[in-house]
Structure 1
């Protein structure tokens, strides 16, 4: 089963990351779990580029669910272009997507995944409305 990716998304961040030897499994390709680590690193770099910390503080953006559509096997050596985009923004949640392509073939997606991110008040462990300054940066 593949998850449908909305065509209307806003690109908010782009980065390049290496495929490491240790990312591969016994079959000689990047293990499926590593794609989620790539997406996590892309989200972390995006969040910090907005001026926020991902380390626990009073408030934070937390992942509530995640998925990945795999299209092409990846293997070492190589470099990936990770493009983070956002979809729907709700009162407390937001859909975030990360596409992955080799730098040697940037037009061919190897995978694309997504996550629902929620703004959380960590003192109460409850979702909270997005701060106005985040919404201004995203819109």
Structure 2
């Protein structure tokens, strides 16, 4: 399956702000991690993960994240940030991200993150839990 055919169940639009550009007149590399965070939080909100955090004291922590920059983005533009979960395991999951430029009509950036569940009371890894796994699978379709 080509990258453009993969299913990303969560998709949001993010306008590029003038202040996100750097001295080379394109969106600074660090900003993409904020875009990833924005779509990741929306994904977690949709599966009720934030409710679990507030009621059980267990929540997601980034263990690893990366980005691959394919094309520069400049102001003005509106980006479509997309997220999906590509792998589940006992203590977390792997997310994939894709940023699509509306001005360029193509993928400009791809990324991934390893998310681990943590019990904030003990500071240790926690199981993902069957209910959250089911919510993830349902959202992924």
TM-score (norm 1): 0.86
2:46 to 35, 46, 49: 49
Measured in 2, the distance between the counterparts of 1:98 and 1:66 equals: 10
Moved over 4 A (4+): none
Q: Name the residue aligned to 2:82.
A: 83
1:26 to 23, 26, 51: 23
Measured in 1, the distance between the counterparts of 2:107 and 2:7 equals: 17
Q: Name the residue aligned to 2:122.
A: 124
Measured in 2, the distance between the counterparts of 1:117 and 1:52 equals: 12
Q: Name the residue aligned to 1:14.
A: 11
SS in 1 for 2:108: strand
Extract unaligned runs of 5+ from structure 2: none
More helix by share: 2
Contact 1:23 1:31 in 2 (8 A): yes
Question: Aligned-residue CA RMSD in angstroms?
Answer: 2.1
SS in 2 for 1:43: helix
Contact 1:10 1:86 in 2 (8 A): no
Q: Name the residue aligned to 1:134.
A: 132
Q: Name the residue aligned to 1:3.
A: none
Residues paired across the two proteins, number: 132
The answer on 1:92 being equivalent to 2:95 is no
What is the Cα deviation at residue 131 of structure 1?
A: 2.0
TM-score (norm 2): 0.85
